[in-house]
């Protein structure tokens, strides 16, 4: 049976929504006689339509089954921090959120859910890959529950690469450049569709740099040590300048936002991009001709090893909630095997629990297989640096990408640019020390 | 006024330039709205090869944009109404009355704009929620008044100052009260200014983004700009639907502008009779 | 009796000294009361919803407040941090350039459009509505459309210029240091000039035609008519518009955020970008507030300069 990317048709979704809201409304009408129903506010993560629908659907069914009144708001990931900021200041917070787990944890806004974490670990045979590293804090407590791992994979035009004589995936960053140079067909198709801008997709370059052996801060994540790795950084910069001067990057990458590499690949104008499989899911629905020509590879390695940052998606409970136990139950039930089987097949996340490994969906397509690789071979974000507030702030600041822009946009010399980078890192890390 | 041929050529020539200048991006917006999703990612074309209305249909049926347009309309209209009334009163007070401090108020009223929304919206949201107006149109309207009133008051102050006082004084000598003079003499004469303030106020409210983002939570209150931004799902722009939504969102205000033009002309005719 | 500040003083018949005093008091009191009553709705709204946030923002800049945490007073720490931030000087420079150039362009274009729309042309009503459309659409959409038009690989401008043979290679308008700021300004001017045009047009409509006819009889050229009749009559409007839009333009966020994200490097980073990143992305409200507070003197200076100039011209007129 050919599986459609979306779990159910739009009409079914609307009908179900109408039904469950009708049921909820009826329940609310009857409730005063039975006693007030608990009311929960749930901010769901909006990123991919089919996945969003699946989660919202589940929430509505769960609410009806558990006699809870649930207000569900879909919040795009970009707007989440703005909204939650205002909500916290106004003391009008939601109960359950699906974004900002680490940020909110650092601000002390979350409910302790160590019991949920341990229950899940026991019931599902353990957590996969680096999942637990995102959740377990040094003192053993847990404040957010992962429900998916997400990250970039290498998305490549295997047809163009085969034409250029390359059958195997590139193992190193140097090989990527070699293959890109040969396979591209300027001006129609460029070798590497990767931004060098102030948007966070540009942080791939920081991963490359770490693959060359440099690190930003010490083992504790407190003191900036990048200055001690000048040799490795220079080797990385040599590689970058090679890429830049080879002309494999399309014009405009210095102001690309996070959608441009998607649209560039999807319109057939790039050989290699680094992105989550949202591209592949888009192709499936909108340009199925391009999908069979698309390969999904693991991240290549630098001279000092492979670094493959993997991000996370998690659910957390705001500590202000009036119904902590009900919320925890929601978190638990959301990880149910049957529910996740259906949901993961329409989302773009890699599994976090061992009990999800046997799902049939992982073998269905090339890109789903890639997700298993991501879950098992990837490392926590920032590795070997510590994934803390300071690292995240420099990451949103796209520090390394800005270093590169100083070289190619402002034409600074390396020492001057590097000095500024160190200054910025010291200022940022200094705030959190 | 007799126009020479030369000046006519210049006028129409410039008009053509301006029309083209405005039309090109709008043309791009409309053609994108009628292209299929697939076509948008194929090779570039000036015109759609296979024009379709599916984006419009999707945006109306799936996204229910008409509800958001209705929300935006209602918020903007009420904001405008309150703004014009409150601002006229305030402007008249500052310009035609004498009391201590009025000069200063006139000056500092503009200082409000020195602070960007990015700074003010958090405390504003705190107040709105404290008043129990979170996720309501009233809450949104209240916050919108903070940036429409200062400007409209200032603009009307300028207009009222430019109006000769003799007419109002004459009316008062004839037995009118001061407020009566305002209502019967000054306001009708200032029609162009009032219409202009109404148009500005409406547009500012219609296009506002940040406060609406924070205050509205669901389809019952969400305004058009927020709804459109939600069509940027993750790292993909749904260009076709976005542009279709943009076209639909621009129509109501476009019509308003078109009608508003007539008003300005009427106001002018009344003014011409007066002198 | 016309007083210098244009308020109305209605002559009253004189009576006895006592009557006069009584009459004077009640008139004055009535005047003050009336004035304040009329002003009160506006004042109420603005005090509650503007003064409080303003004071709150100043307090924030001296605190270490992050989202959800309790604020502590930290003195000048945020200010020191922000001033030495590498992009701070770039933001100063870019905000200044962007504001001045954009306002000048919008002024000229708006005035030209208003002049044309003020003429007796066929279909005038239609054109008046049409040329004001850029301001009607949500900014979000406008800047996305422009971003895409500027795109070197898939954008209209490059394709058209290549087809017309004007260029050989695509130009990355928003990504090249030299062209980024001008491109942002052009898109912004396109979006915002209608505000100027409609303001000037409304002002021009109230200028009596007889003035122009008289001037024409005297043999003055169109340019002289513009300079000596149109411009002076528009004096107040010009003052209002330039003042306000200077502040608005200096506070512009969406054009930069949506077109270039402040890039390439810091070529288009303006101060609102810094406020946004520090406050909304890093959640460090104290730092964001400090940036706003630091730019306040610049903006206040602009306001005072423009009002000062206007005041002097007004006195001389």
CATH number assigned to the domain comprising residue C308: 1.10.3720.10
| The pLDDT of residue A254 | 95
Q: Are A367 and A401 within one domain?
A: no
Report pLDDT digits (tens) over A138-150: 888 999 999 999 8
On average, the pLDDT of chain B sits at 81
| The pLDDT of residue C3 | 45
Q: Are A112 and A242 within one domain?
A: no
- Give the domain extent around C144: 77-316
Most confident of A129-133, B188-192, C189-193, C243-247: C189-193
On average, the pLDDT of chain C sits at 83
| The pLDDT of residue A330 | 95
Nearest to C133 among B26, B100, B111 (CB): B26
Interface contact flag, C261 A197, Cβ < 8 Å? yes
Q: Are A122 and A232 within one domain?
A: no
Evaluate whether A202 touches A193 at the Cβ level (below 8 Å). no
Residue C70 lies in a domain: no
Interface contact flag, C39 B93, Cβ < 8 Å? yes
Show which subunits contact C, needing at least 3 CB pairs below 8 angstroms.
Answer: A, B
CA A190 to chain centroid: 25
C-alpha dist (Å) from residue C234 to B87, C109, C203: 21, 16, 6
| The pLDDT of residue B147 | 85
Nearest to C133 among B14, B22, B178 (CB): B22
- The least confident of A111-115, B96-100, C26-30 is C26-30
Q: Where are the beta strands (DSSP E) in A18-144?
A: 39-46, 69-76, 96-97
Task: Label residue C21 by pLDDT band (50, 70, 90).
Answer: low
Interface contact flag, B235 A286, Cβ < 8 Å? no
Q: Are C219 and C184 within one domain?
A: yes
Gap from A98 CA to chain C (nearest CA, Å): 17
Mean pLDDT of the C15-28 span: 68
Nearest to B214 among A47, A73, A82 (CB): A82
| The pLDDT of residue B262 | 61
What are chain B's domains?
A: 5-56 (no CATH), 64-234 (1.10.3720.10)
Is the pLDDT at B186 greater than 50? The verdict is yes
Q: Are C24 and C118 within one domain?
A: no
Task: Label residue C243 by pLDDT band (50, 70, 90).
Answer: confident
| Mutual angle of helices A278-286 and A366-377, in 10-degree steps | 170
Question: Is residue A14 classed exposed, middle or buried when 0-12, 13-18 and 19+ CB atoms within 10 A define those classes?
Answer: middle
Interface with B, mutate which of A92, A279, A281 (most B CBs under 10 A): A92
Number of structural domains chain C divides into: 2
Show which subunits contact A, needing at least 3 CB pairs below 8 angstroms.
Answer: B, C
Mean pLDDT of the A286-310 span: 92
Nearest to B233 among A76, A201, A286 (CB): A76
Q: Are C273 and C187 within one domain?
A: yes
Interface contact flag, B234 A47, Cβ < 8 Å? yes
> In this complex, how many residue pairs, one in chain B and one in chain C, have their CB atoms less than 8 Å apart?
276
Q: Are A332 and A406 within one domain?
A: no
CA distance A144 to A231: 39
CA C193 to chain centroid: 11
Does residue A382 sit in helix, strand or coil? coil
Residue A12 lies in a domain: no
| The pLDDT of residue C5 | 53
| The pLDDT of residue B271 | 33
Q: Are A214 and A227 within one domain?
A: yes
- Give the domain extent around A95: 39-151+311-376
DSSP code for A326: H
Q: Are A253 and A209 within one domain?
A: yes
Q: Which residues contact B1 (CB under 8 A, 6 or more apart)?
A: C120, C209, C212, C213, C216
Tell me if chain B has a CB within 8 Å of the CB of A203: no
Interface contact flag, B89 C39, Cβ < 8 Å? yes
Query: How many percent of chain A have pLDDT more than 90?
Result: 59
Q: Are C20 and C102 within one domain?
A: no
From chain A, pick out residues whose CB is under 8 angstroms from the CB of B125: 86, 89-90
Tell me if chain B has a CB within 8 Å of the CB of A355: no
Evaluate whether C189 touches C111 at the Cβ level (below 8 Å). no
Q: Are C131 and C266 within one domain?
A: yes
Residue C69 lies in a domain: no
CA distance C306 to A413: 42
Q: Are C208 and C296 within one domain?
A: yes
| The pLDDT of residue C17 | 74
Q: Are A220 and A297 within one domain?
A: yes
Most confident of A11-20, A262-271, B106-115, C206-215: A262-271
From chain B, pick out residues whose CB is under 8 angstroms from the CB of A48: 233-234
Tell me if chain C has a CB within 8 Å of the CB of B133: no
pTM for the model stands at: 0.82
Gap from A223 CA to chain B (nearest CA, Å): 32
| The pLDDT of residue A225 | 95
Gap from C204 CA to chain B (nearest CA, Å): 10
| Residue whose C-alpha is closest to residue A257's, from B207, B29, C262, C95 | C262
Q: Are C151 and C232 within one domain?
A: yes
> In this complex, how many residue pairs, one in chain A and one in chain C, have their CB atoms less than 8 Å apart?
95
| The pLDDT of residue C16 | 72
Q: Which residues contact C149 (CB under 8 A, 6 or more apart)?
A: B25, B28, C155, C156, C157
Q: Which residues of A46-80 are buried (b: 16+ CB within 10 A; e: fewer)?
A: bbbbbbbbbbbbbbbebbbeeebbbbbbbbbbbbb
Q: How many CA atoms lie within 13 A of C144 on its CB side?
A: 22
Residue C34 lies in a domain: yes
- The least confident of A132-136, A322-326, C4-8, C167-171 is C4-8
Is the pLDDT at C18 greater than 80? The verdict is no
Write out residues 22-51 of B within 8 Å (CB-CB) of C: 22, 24-26, 28-29, 32, 44, 46
| The pLDDT of residue C7 | 56
| The pLDDT of residue C49 | 81
ipTM above 0.85, yes or no: no
Gap from C290 CA to chain A (nearest CA, Å): 15
Mean pLDDT of the A153-161 span: 94
Q: Are A121 and A205 within one domain?
A: no
Does an H or E element contain B262, and which?
helix B239-274
Higher pLDDT, A277 or C189: C189
Q: Are A224 and A140 within one domain?
A: no
- The least confident of A10-14, A47-51, B166-170 is A10-14
From chain A, pick out residues whose CB is under 8 angstroms from the CB of B235: 201, 258-259, 262, 275-276, 278
Task: Find the largest Cα–Cα distance for chain B.
Answer: 74
Tell me if chain A has a CB within 8 Å of the CB of B126: yes
Mean pLDDT of the C19-36 span: 72
| The pLDDT of residue A111 | 94
Number of structural domains chain A divides into: 2
On average, the pLDDT of chain A sits at 87
Task: Label residue A8 by pLDDT band (50, 70, 90).
Answer: very low
Residue C72 lies in a domain: no
- The least confident of A1-15, B93-107, C9-23, C59-73 is A1-15
> In this complex, how many residue pairs, one in chain A and one in chain B, have their CB atoms less than 8 Å apart?
74
Task: Label residue A324 by pLDDT band (50, 70, 90).
Answer: very high
- The least confident of A156-165, A173-182, B38-47, C24-33 is C24-33
Q: Are A147 and A275 within one domain?
A: no
């Amino acid at each position: 049976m050919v599986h459609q990317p979306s779990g159910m048709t739009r009409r079914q979704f609307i009908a179900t929504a109408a039904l469950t809201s009708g049921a909820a409304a009826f329940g609310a009408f009857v409730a005063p006689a039975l006693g007030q129903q608990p009311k929960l506010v749930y901010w769901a993560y909006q990123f991919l339509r089919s996945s969003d629908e699946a989660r919202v659907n589940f929430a509505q069914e769960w609410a009806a089954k558990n006699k809870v009144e649930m207000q569900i708001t879909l919040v795009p990931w970009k707007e989440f921090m703005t909204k939650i900021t205002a909500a916290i200041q106004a003391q009008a917070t939601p109960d359950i959120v699906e974004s900002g787990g680490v940020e909110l944890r650092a601000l002390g806004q979350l409910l302790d859910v160590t019991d949920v974490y341990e229950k899940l670990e026991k019931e599902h045979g353990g957590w996969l890959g680096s999942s637990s590293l995102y959740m377990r804090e040094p003192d053993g407590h847990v404040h957010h529950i992962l429900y998916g791992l997400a990250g970039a994979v290498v998305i490549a035009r295997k047809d163009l690469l085969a034409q250029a004589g390359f059958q195997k995936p590139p193992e190193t960053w140097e090989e990527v450049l070699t293959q890109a140079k040969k396979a591209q067909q300027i001006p129609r198709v460029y070798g590497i569709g990767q931004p060098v801008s102030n948007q966070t997709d540009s942080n791939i370059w920081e991963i490359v740099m770490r693959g060359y052996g440099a690190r930003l801060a010490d083992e504790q994540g407190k003191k900036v040590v990048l200055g001690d790795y000048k040799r490795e950084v220079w080797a990385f910069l040599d590689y970058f300048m090679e890429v830049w001067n080879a002309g494999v990057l399309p014009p405009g990458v210095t102001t690309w936002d996070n959608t441009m590499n998607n649209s560039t690949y999807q319109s057939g104008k790039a050989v290699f991009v680094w992105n989550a499989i949202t591209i592949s899911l888009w192709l499936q629905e909108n340009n199925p001709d391009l999908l069979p020509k698309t390969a999904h590879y693991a991240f290549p390695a630098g001279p000092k090893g492979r670094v493959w940052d993997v991000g996370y998606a998690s659910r957390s409970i705001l500590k202000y909630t009036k119904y902590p136990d009900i919320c925890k139950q929601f978190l638990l039930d959301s990880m149910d095997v049957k529910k996740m089987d259906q949901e993961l097949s329409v989302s773009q996340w890699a599994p976090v629990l061992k009990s999800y490994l046997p799902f049939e969906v992982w073998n269905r397509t090339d890109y789903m297989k890639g997700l298993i690789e991501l879950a098992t071979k990837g490392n926590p974000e920032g590795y070997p640096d510590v994934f803390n507030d300071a690292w995240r702030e420099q990451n949103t600041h796209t520090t390394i990408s800005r270093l590169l822009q100083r070289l190619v946009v402002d034409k600074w010399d390396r020492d001057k640019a590097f000095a500024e980078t160190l200054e910025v890192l010291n200022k940022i890390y200094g705030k959190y020390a | 006024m007799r126009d020479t041929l030369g000046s006519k050529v210049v006028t129409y020539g410039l008009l053509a330039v301006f029309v083209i200048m405005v039309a090109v991006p709008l043309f791009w917006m409309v053609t994108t709205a009628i292209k299929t999703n697939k076509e948008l990612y194929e090779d570039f074309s000036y015109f759609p090869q296979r024009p379709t209305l599916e984006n419009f249909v999707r945006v109306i049926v799936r996204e229910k944009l008409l509800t958001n347009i209705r929300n935006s309309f209602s918020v903007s209209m009420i904001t405008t109404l309150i703004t014009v009334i409150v601002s006229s009163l305030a402007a008249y007070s500052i310009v035609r009355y004498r009391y201590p401090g009025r000069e200063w108020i006139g000056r500092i009223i503009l200082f409000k704009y020195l602070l960007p929304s990015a700074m003010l919206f958090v405390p504003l949201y705190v107040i709105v929620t404290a008043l129990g107006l979170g996720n309501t149109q009233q809450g949104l309207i209240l916050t919108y008044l903070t940036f429409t009133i200062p400007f409209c008051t200032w603009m009307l102050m300028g207009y009222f100052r430019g109006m000769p006082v003799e007419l109002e004084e004459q009316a008062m000598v004839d037995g009118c009260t001061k407020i009566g003079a305002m209502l019967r003499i000054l306001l009708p004469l200032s029609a162009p200014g009032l219409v202009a303030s109404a148009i500005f106020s409406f547009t500012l409210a219609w296009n506002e983004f940040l406060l609406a983002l924070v205050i509205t939570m669901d389809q019952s209150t969400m305004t058009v700009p927020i709804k459109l931004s939600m069509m940027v799902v993750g790292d993909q722009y749904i260009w076709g639907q976005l542009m279709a939504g943009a076209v639909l969102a621009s129509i109501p205000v476009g019509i308003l502008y078109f009608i508003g033009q007539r008003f300005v002309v009427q106001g002018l005719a009344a003014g011409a009779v007066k002198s | 009796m016309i007083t210098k500040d244009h308020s109305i003083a209605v002559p009253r018949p004189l009576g006895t000294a006592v009557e006069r005093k009584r009459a004077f008091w009640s008139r004055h009191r009535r005047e003050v009361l009336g004035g304040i009553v009329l002003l009160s709705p506006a004042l109420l709204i603005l005090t509650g919803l503007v003064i409080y946030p303003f004071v709150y923002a100043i307090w924030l800049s001296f605190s270490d407040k992050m989202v959800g945490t309790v604020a502590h007073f930290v003195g000048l720490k945020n200010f020191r941090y922000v001033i030495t931030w590498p992009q701070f000087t770039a933001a100063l420079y870019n905000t200044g350039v962007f504001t001045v150039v954009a306002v000048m362009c919008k002024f000229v274009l708006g005035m030209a459009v208003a002049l044309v729309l003020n003429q007796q042309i066929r279909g005038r009503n239609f054109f008046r509505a049409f040329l004001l459309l850029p301001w009607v659409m949500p900014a979000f959409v406008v800047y996305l459309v422009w971003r895409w038009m500027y795109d070197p690989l898939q954008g209209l401008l490059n394709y058209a210029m290549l087809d017309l043979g004007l260029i050989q290679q695509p130009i990355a308008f928003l990504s090249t240091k030299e062209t980024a700021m001008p491109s942002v300004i052009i898109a912004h001017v396109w979006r915002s000039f209608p505000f100027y045009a409609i303001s000037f047009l409304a002002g021009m409509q109230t200028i009596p035609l007889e003035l122009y006819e008289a001037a024409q009889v005297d043999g003055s050229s169109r340019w002289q008519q513009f300079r000596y009749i149109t411009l002076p009559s528009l004096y107040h409007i010009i003052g209002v518009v330039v003042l306000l839009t200077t502040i608005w333009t200096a506070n512009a966020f969406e054009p930069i955020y949506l077109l270039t994200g402040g890039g390439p490097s810091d070529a288009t980073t303006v101060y609102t970008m810094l406020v946004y990143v520090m406050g909304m992305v890093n959640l460090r409200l104290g730092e964001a507030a400090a940036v706003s507070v630091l730019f306040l003197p610049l903006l206040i200076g602009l306001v005072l300069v423009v009002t000062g100039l206007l005041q002097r011209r007004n006195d001389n007129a």
